[in-house]
Amino acid sequence: MSLDLLEQSLGQLACDIPGATRTFHHYNLDFCCGGQKTLREAALGKGLNPLLIADALRTLQAAGELGHDWRNEPQSRLIAHILERYHARHREQLPELIRLARRVERVHGARPSCPNGLADHLADLYQELEGHMLKEEQVLFPMLQQGLGERASAPIQVLRYEHDQHGEALETMLALTDQITPPADACNTWRALYRGLVELRDDLMQHIHLENNVLFVNAMKPVH
């Protein structure tokens, strides 16, 4: 039965079941910032049938797909992965996405389906994300690597709040782009922009998930 999955948090399920994040993306469920909500609560909040999603997750469990469980990795390795896979990647992604968005708005701005305001929104997100990543790189990560996790609750609280803001920024991005759906006659630039936005959304949600539900949780565990 899938009933036991309904009361588990999205963050926990994203850690436990390889491929679960793909299912959550499909149903537009927020497993990173909203990772504390149970599957039942999150699904009902979106007007979805929680049993349907639980069955999809149970199918994934039965398939036995192997995923990388970062909960059991040394903290230093997870931090290195976050820096290399996500911090460096966001710094590559966003300038190019802003450039593409400005081009689409300039050429197609008169069309109702044009995501007017997207370029400025992405520029704001980039600025906020850059400041956020610098806090992690200059404050939190060095604290954790020096074994000072017990002093990290204040910076973690700030970073969790900023993660929530990034989640809201993603929701705005989805609203501006019709859930990142290009019109049928969209040009190649428009399609390239939206492909990049899907990648950014997936990467940023996975990035926040690894920090909120793995790194921060482990950092706050009492040392025995």
Query: Which residue pairs, CB below 8 angstroms and at least 24 apart, start in 13-17?
Result: 13/39, 13/57, 14/209, 14/213, 15/69, 15/70, 15/71, 15/213, 15/214, 17/57, 17/60, 17/61, 17/67
Kindly state the average pLDDT of the residues 139-145: 94
Percent of the chain with pLDDT over 90: 67
Cα–Cα dist 195/200, whole Å: 9
Please state the rounded mean pLDDT for residues 27-34: 82
DSSP at 222: P
The pLDDT of residue 63 is 78
When pLDDT is cut at 50, 70 and 90, the band that residue 28 belongs to is: confident
Put simply, whether the predicted model's pTM sits higher than 0.75 gets the answer: yes
Mean pLDDT of the chain: 91
pLDDT of residue 3: 62
pLDDT at 9 over 50: yes
Tokens of 160: 């969790």
CA–CA separation, 39 and 35 (whole Å): 9
Q: What is the pLDDT of residue 1?
A: 44
Model confidence at 149, pLDDT cuts 50, 70, 90, reads confident
> What's the CA dihedral at 179, 101, 195, 14 to 10 degrees?
-60
Give the pLDDT score at 105. Answer: 98
Does the structure show a pLDDT above 90 at 220? Answer: no
Average pLDDT over residues 13-25: 85
Q: Which pLDDT score, from 0 to 100, does residue 103 have?
A: 97
Instruction: Determine which of 34-38, 107-111, 165-169 has the lowest per-residue pLDDT on average.
Output: 34-38
Phi/psi for 9 (5° steps) reads -75, 155
Residues 6+ apart with CB under 8 A from 133: 87, 90, 91
3-state secondary structure of 133: helix
